[in-house]
Amino acid sequence: MQVVALYEVDLHCHTTASDGSLSPAELVRLAAELGLKGLGITDHDTIKGWNEAEEAAAHYKLQLLKGIELSTDWLGKEVHILGYELDSSSNYLKDKLRNLGEARQRRMLKILERLRNQEVDISEEAIRKYAQGDSIGRPHIAQALMEKGYIRDIQEGFERYLGVGAPAYVPRFKLTPEEGIELIRKAKGVPVLAHPGMQRLEEGIPAWVEAGLKGIEVLHSEHKAQDVTRYKALAEHYNLLMTGGSDFHGEACKPGVELGRWGVSLRVLQEIKELAKSN
Ligand code: AMP
Ligand code: ZN
Ligand code: FE
Ligand code: FE
């Protein structure tokens, strides 16, 4: 049971707007209880958690960074791009996010079909219980599979059915990293490369800096000490912001990843806000 945050701010968290287990208000409340001064919410492909998070942040007097996490594809590797402080009134952004949501919906239907071929019968409603937003992902399907007794835990769901190479795996539509960066920039946000240590992405970085990347997530729950050293040096070399966060999804979705155990100082949150204002 966690008692206190180790950092001032945690800039990478998910809520029920995508595949986290806490609502935006519950997440902000937990952050306040742990003593965090600020929080970045970064749901996959959606900004639908922002309003509720903003209200809660005002209530708890917590600084909020409104973000998003886009998964992109680079030579078959997953490259996740965080975008902070995008302009939520941008029609361009709304269009792009609607397209991503619709692609996720179509993919979910394909996965259900493939599951039926495996004698696994799960309804869309069963998944909807776990996916409240429009950012439906495999963790929601895994939760429904667990509820119906097909698997014992989420991990088994990925191994037996949903993961790469498993019989119900369906790839998701993905932008390229450059397209992800462009989307965020056109929506006046600040693009940051998420957890590069998970996929070893150093070779892609020069082109992404050229495309407008503004930061690298150096501190992350899945980064080893060598990753922190390597990506800190690269951030310094390219004069990029160094950000950090836990990638908290809640105990039910990603056990063992504690809010505020990875992060950065409040100064970084403020720098990102200033950068966004100058966009
Ligand atoms: P999707 O957006 O549907 O492609 O699903 C991606 C999400 O699934 C990410 O948030 C991961 O945390 C989660 N995920 C991917 N692989 C696994 C795995 N092997 N076990 C548990 N969760 C996973
Ligand atoms: Zn997630
Ligand atoms: Fe990610
Ligand atoms: Fe994430």
pLDDT per residue as tens digits for the range 38-64: 999 999 999 999 999 999 999 999 999
Distance CA 263, CA 258 (A): 11
* 69 in contact with ligand 1, CB cutoff 6 A: no
The helix or strand, by DSSP H or E, that contains position 226, with its residue range, turns out to be helix 225-237
Which domains can be identified in the chain, with CATH numbers?
97-162 (1.10.150)
Sign of the CA dihedral with 257 first, then 258, 261, and 262 last: positive
Question: What is the pLDDT at residue 254?
Answer: 83
Three-state secondary-structure class, residue 58: helix
Position 1 pLDDT exceeds 60: no
Three-state secondary-structure class, residue 240: coil
pLDDT in tens, 236-268: 999 999 999 999 999 877 888 999 999 999 999
* 80 in contact with ligand 1, CB cutoff 6 A: no
Question: What is the pLDDT at residue 2?
Answer: 64
Distance CA 111, CA 176 (A): 23
Parallel, antiparallel or unpaired: strands 38-44 and 63-74: parallel
User: Atom 11, ligand 1: which residue's CA is nearest?
Assistant: 139
Ligand 1 atom with the smallest distance to the CA of 14 is 10
- 123 versus 254: the higher-pLDDT residue is 123
Tokens of 271: 């720098």
Tell me, in angstroms, the distance from the centre of ligand 2 to residue 109's CA: 19
Model confidence, pTM:
0.94
Q: Which ligand has its closest atom nearest to the C-alpha of 111?
A: 1
Position 3 pLDDT exceeds 80: no
Average pLDDT, the chain: 95
